[in-house]
């Protein structure tokens, strides 16, 4: 079983957003379509995300924690959906979770199972541990905005772009999580996604 690595949060960010964290796990990404076991899991999860259940999701502890975090960082979660709410709305729109490729399906499974926001980065492009900090002037993100960064540079916005799945042979599956989301739940989400790729 792959190791979950818990990253760093810049001290002044951690002081303002108590409990904010980031964790990741690396996994090989096989080529080809998702196997039947993964597609079957997507169908099972589709049955859990229907109608009233999906609409009431925001009241559950993990989705609620993301809504609180969004407001803390200046994002209106009723305008820009949190990742798990966006996933639920896509399921309602499509009539089920459609297979979208090995890595995208793994992210769907991990997020739908736990409510934890997952995204993928190309592991080959990363240097050292991942963390959360503010973007500096001159970097390719708005100065002062919160970003996911490695030890060299920012690599992604804190939220947004979760559907941008890299075509990589090895992925870093990343969970950004607010305070109040148990570490065990974050680890479960990452392991679920990595296991779906195995």
Closest to 34 (Cα-Cα) out of 120, 118, 105 = 105
Q: In this model, does residue 27 exceed pLDDT 70?
A: yes
Quote the pLDDT of residue 160: 87
Rounded CA gap, 106 and 85, in Å? 17
pLDDT score of 189: 97
List beta partners, residue 148.
Answer: 132, 156
Residue 99, exposed/middle/buried by CB under 10 A (0-12, 13-18, 19+)?
middle
Mean pLDDT of the chain, nearest integer: 92
Return the number of other C-beta atoms located less than 10 Å from residue 160's C-beta.
12
- At 54, the pLDDT band (50, 70, 90 cuts) reads low
Confidence at residue 69, expressed as pLDDT on a 0 to 100 scale: 97
pLDDT tier, 48 (very low <50, low <70, confident <90, very high otherwise): confident
Kindly report, residue by residue over 103-157, the tens digit of the pLDDT.
999 999 999 999 999 999 999 999 999 999 999 999 999 999 999 999 999 999 9
CB atoms under 10 Å from CB of 188, counted, come to 17
Predicted local distance difference test score (pLDDT) of residue 164: 82
Q: Give the H or E element holding residue 119.
A: strand 118-122
Reported as a pLDDT band with limits 50, 70 and 90, residue 58 is: confident
The pLDDT, as a whole number, for residue 88 is: 87
Quote the crossing angle between the two packed helices 83-94 and 102-114, to the nearest 10°.
110
Domain span including residue 66: 5-197
Q: Is the pLDDT of residue 1 over 70?
A: no
Q: Could you tell me the sign of the dihedral formed by the alpha carbons of 96, 102, 108, 110, in that order?
A: positive
pLDDT of residue 167: 86
Provide the β-strand partners of residue 146. 134
Position 4 pLDDT exceeds 90: yes
Rounded Cα gap, residues 166 and 123, in angstroms: 10
Give the count of domains, the chain: 1
Residue 176's φ and ψ, nearest 5 degrees, are: -100, 130
Residue 44 CB coordination number (10 Å): 12
pLDDT tens figures, 60-90: 899 999 999 999 999 999 899 999 889 888 8
Q: Residue 55 — very low, low, confident or very high, per pLDDT cuts 50/70/90?
A: low
Say what the pTM is. Answer: 0.93
Contact 58, 70 (CB under 8 A): no
CATH number for the domain spanning 83: value is 3.50.40
Average pLDDT over residues 45-67: 80
In angstroms, what is the C-alpha Rg of the chain? 16
Higher pLDDT, 161 or 196: 196
Instruction: Give the mean model confidence (pLDDT) for residues 160-181.
Output: 90
């Amino acid at each position: 079983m792959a190791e979950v690595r818990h990253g760093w949060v810049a001290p002044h960010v951690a002081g303002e957003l108590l409990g904010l964290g980031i964790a990741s796990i690396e996994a090989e990404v096989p080529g080809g379509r998702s196997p039947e076991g993964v597609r079957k899991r997507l169908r099972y999860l589709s049955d859990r995300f229907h109608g009233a259940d999906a609409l009431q999701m925001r009241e559950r502890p993990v989705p609620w924690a993301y809504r609180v975090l969004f407001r803390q960082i200046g994002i209106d979660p009723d305008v820009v959906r949190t990742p798990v709410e966006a996933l639920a709305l896509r399921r309602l729109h499509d009539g089920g979770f459609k297979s979208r490729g090995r890595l995208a399906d793994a992210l769907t499974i991990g997020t739908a199972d736990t409510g934890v926001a997952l995204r993928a980065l190309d592991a080959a492009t990363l240097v050292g541990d991942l963390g959360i900090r503010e973007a500096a002037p001159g970097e390719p993100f708005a100065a002062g905005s919160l970003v996911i960064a490695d030890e060299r540079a920012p690599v992604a916005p804190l939220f947004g772009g979760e559907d941008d799945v890299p075509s990589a042979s090895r992925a870093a599956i990343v969970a950004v999580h607010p305070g109040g989301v148990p570490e065990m739940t974050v680890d479960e989400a990452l392991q679920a996604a990595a296991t779906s790729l195995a």
